[in-house]
Amino acid sequence: MTGVTVREHHLELSAFPTSPYYARVHVHRVLEGWRREDLVETAQLAVSELVSNAIKAHAASLAALEAVALASPDRIWMDLYQAEGAIVLRVWDASRIAPVLRAPDLDDEGGRGLYLVDLLASGWGYYLPASGGKVVWCALAAPSPLPEEPFAPGKDIG
């Protein structure tokens, strides 16, 4: 994922709590244009979680922004592109701290974002661009098609 440069479906966002909404709208519009309605809901959930995490990480790293080239102090960005039948979502924030996948306890109020992304995506990861910050990405594959005639209870399948 580090060798890819995409600007066509790039969206710069303010690091505000409302930004996941705008990211979901952007993803919906792009996927409709690509005729990939099969992935809209999954991609919207994944991008919402990635953008929410980026906002939190970005806020935690504001003190280090002087060291980040080309960074706006209140901005994150996201983009998406198609690769080998999958949709790849990328989200940048100013933090250099690696994301950590953890399974939250049932009574935890947060910490499920990356766990959800891990469940939804065919792959995910992060990298540290030379310009600073980090990019967290996930790849979403098309859902498996359902059989033409789903199994019905009491129906002979032999």
Report domain extents, the chain.
11-140
Sorted by sequence, the CB contacts under 8 Å of residue 94 that are 6+ apart come out as 57, 58, 61, 62, 64, 65, 68, 71, 76, 132, 133
Question: Rounded CA gap, 57 and 15, in Å?
Answer: 10
Sorted by sequence, the CB contacts under 8 Å of residue 122 that are 6+ apart come out as 86, 139, 140, 141
Structure tokens at 93: 């924030």
CB atoms near residue 31 (< 10 Å): 23
pTM value is: 0.80
Kindly give the confidence (pLDDT) of every residue in the chain, 158 residues in length, as a single tens digit, with 9 standing for 90 and above.
445 555 679 999 998 999 999 999 999 999 999 999 999 999 999 999 999 999 988 776 655 554 444 455 578 999 999 998 899 999 999 999 999 888 777 776 666 789 899 999 999 999 999 988 999 999 999 876 666 665 556 555 55
Strands (E), 42-133: 75-83, 86-93, 123-127
CA 9 to chain CA mean position, Å: 14
Question: Rounded CA gap, 130 and 104, in Å?
Answer: 32
Q: Quick one: the chain helix, strand, coil %, rounded to 5?
A: 35, 20, 45
The highest-level CATH class for domain 11-140 is: alpha beta
The pLDDT value recorded for residue 58 is 77
